Amino acid sequence: MMKKIATILALAGALAAPAMAQDDKMTPIAAPAQPNAITLNTGPLPGASVAESWHRQYGSMFARNVTVATLTPFLPEAGKGSGAAVIVAPGGGFRTLSMNNEGWDVATALAKQGVAAFVLKYRLVQTPADMEGFNREMTKLFSAGPRVANTAGQQDPAVTFAPQIADARAAFALVRARAQEWRVDPDRIGMIGFSAGAMLTMATTLHGQDARPAFIANIYGPLAGMTPPPDAPPLFVALAADDPFFGSGGYGLIDSWRAAKRPVEFHLFEQGGHGFGMYPKTTTSTGWFDACTRWLAMHGYLARKN
């Protein structure tokens, strides 16, 4: 039974394994030390009764039952920052967060490019405290396969993701409030999200009010069409054609940005599945980060603004 569950979870967004991965078992672990994590001011998740916990899988760490949001800075070396910044939103179906593969590893790579990165550990939907119960819930969630894309398109993000949008807004507000300390230009703060984090990125763009990301990146999130705001930020999208959730759902989001004459770049990789993130794989999807870096450079975010 556990093997079957692991197989289903391997298809899921933030739980997809790197190529040749052997460590597919979920193992509970103590919460890692996070000395630089800053508690955001959005308060505890209303009605939460299960405490935050962590587990390891595929050599990475995952958080679940997050009830209090935090933001962790990853800053460029002194004198090497461009002044641009990115809020990084990991994925995991709003029930877990892929903190290594779609959070810390991404932020570390961005900081090496001179971009200040801030990993958002946002509040999550509560799941059973025990690992077996969590497995059952995730199996039920992800067994819908491609129907996940249709469900995502039917939701009202402003309502469904209200706590997470509040966390994202608080993250933008904090970075702007400490912009001088962190050597960040308050007008050059973007957001990048993975799977559910990509959904949060799009929801923040449309419903985040004062968040106002300067640029956004949607990495293997839903691509349903929507009406962009008149000043919609430049959009970078990366998706694998064999993504089991969003690979066959059309590319309405790209068409929406183009119809609005807003900047958009779209990379459709032949293979890569869902949740490839920063895992080293033999597929070309591994090149998404380099492509995104070039895109950021093209828009001037890797060079300090005069």
Task: Give Cβ neighbours of residue 24 (< 8 Å, ≥ 6 apart).
Answer: 6, 10, 17, 57, 58
pLDDT at 25: 87
Asked if 31 contacts 292 with a C-beta cutoff of 8 angstroms, the reply is: no
Examine residue 304 and state whether it is found in any structural domain, yes or no: no
pLDDT at 155: 73
Q: Which residues pair with 62 in a beta bridge?
A: 55, 98
| Structural domain count, the chain | 1
Q: Cα dihedral sign for 198, 199, 202, 205? A: negative
Examine residue 48 and state whether it is found in any structural domain, yes or no: yes
Q: What is the mean pLDDT of residues 136-148?
A: 73
Examine residue 213 and state whether it is found in any structural domain, yes or no: yes
Cα(194)–Cα(203) distance, integer angstroms = 13
Cα(283)–Cα(38) distance, integer angstroms = 36
Lowest mean pLDDT among 50-59, 98-107, 134-143, 295-304: 134-143
DSSP one-letter string for 5-43? HHHHHHTSTTTPPPTT----S-EEEPPPP-TT-EE-TT-
pLDDT at 193: 98
Instruction: Give the distance from CA 38 to its chain's centroid.
Output: 18
Q: Which helix (H) or strand (E) segment is 62 a member of?
A: strand 60-64
Examine residue 209 and state whether it is found in any structural domain, yes or no: yes
pLDDT at 148: 52
Backbone phi and psi for residue 192, each to the nearest 5 degrees, phi listed first: -130, 135
Q: What is the mean pLDDT of residues 188-213?
A: 98
Enclosing domain of residue 124? 2-298
Examine residue 303 and state whether it is found in any structural domain, yes or no: no
Going by pLDDT thresholds of 50, 70 and 90, the confidence category of residue 1 is: very low
Radius of gyration of the chain (CA): 18
**Domain containing residue 253: CATH number:** 3.40.50.1820
Instruction: Judge whether residue 269 has pLDDT over 50.
Output: yes
Asked if 222 contacts 198 with a C-beta cutoff of 8 angstroms, the reply is: yes
Closest of 296, 224, 283, 279 to residue 13, by C-alpha: 279
pLDDT at 147: 54
- Which residue's structure tokens are 């995991």? 92
What secondary structure letter does DSSP report for 100? Answer: I
Examine residue 305 and state whether it is found in any structural domain, yes or no: no
